[in-house]
Amino acid sequence: DQRSVFGRDMVQVFSSHVVFVDARERRGLGVGAEMMWAKLNRIPVVTWAPKDSHYHKTQTTILGVPVPNFVHPFVEALSDRIVENLVEGAQWIHRIMTDPSIEIKGIETIYSTMKYYEETQLHCDQPMQELLAANEILQRRMQRTRPLVTYT
């Protein structure tokens, strides 16, 4: 019963004080969905992704361009902290459970990254410019995100 499995996973995340992601190796679609659900509910996400693992590389090449200190964009954006080892992860979990001043990412972080893309990359992304220009519904949808973005 796939619906029940999905519902159970979402309840587990929703009832958590923190989500700890083991990203030492490649993971499936469910992990990303669980990370996003945690962020939509402002639940801390700690991701164990040591350097030179699948999602965190000291050096890689993307589309022929060398990229130093690469962290997968979804892992970086949806994690409140990326740790190198289990001890560091446990220490950070203890910190967030005892220090209410630590800011946890929420939905505004996602909108903020959309705004960042718009300000820094959209001008050179011709296919996306064409899509936005040709679709009035999408233009209105993008306008609705503006009040939700935190400007810093």
Looking at residues 11-25, what average pLDDT do you find?
97
pLDDT at 100: 93
> What is the pLDDT averaged over residues 78-97?
97
What average pLDDT score do residues 90-105 get?
96
Task: Give Cβ neighbours of residue 138 (< 8 Å, ≥ 6 apart).
Answer: 131, 132
Q: pTM for this structure?
A: 0.88
The percentage of residues in the chain with a pLDDT greater than 90, rounded to a whole number, is 84
Confidence of residue 148 (pLDDT cuts 50, 70, 90): low
pLDDT of residue 151: 42
- Using the predicted structure, report yes or no on whether residue 22 has a pLDDT greater than 80: yes
The pLDDT value given to residue 145: 73
Cα 144 from Cα 152, distance rounded (Å): 19
DSSP string, 90-130: HHHHHHHHH-TTS----HHHHHHHHHHHHHHTGGG-HHHHH
Q: Taken in order 28, 31, 34, 39, is the CA torsion positive or negative?
A: negative
The amino acid that residue 89 corresponds to is G
Give the pLDDT of residue 141.
87
Q: Across all residues in the chain, what is the average pLDDT?
A: 93
Q: Which residue has the higher pLDDT, 138 or 145?
A: 138
What's the pLDDT at 139?
A: 86
Span 59-87, average pLDDT = 96
Mean pLDDT of 12-40: 97
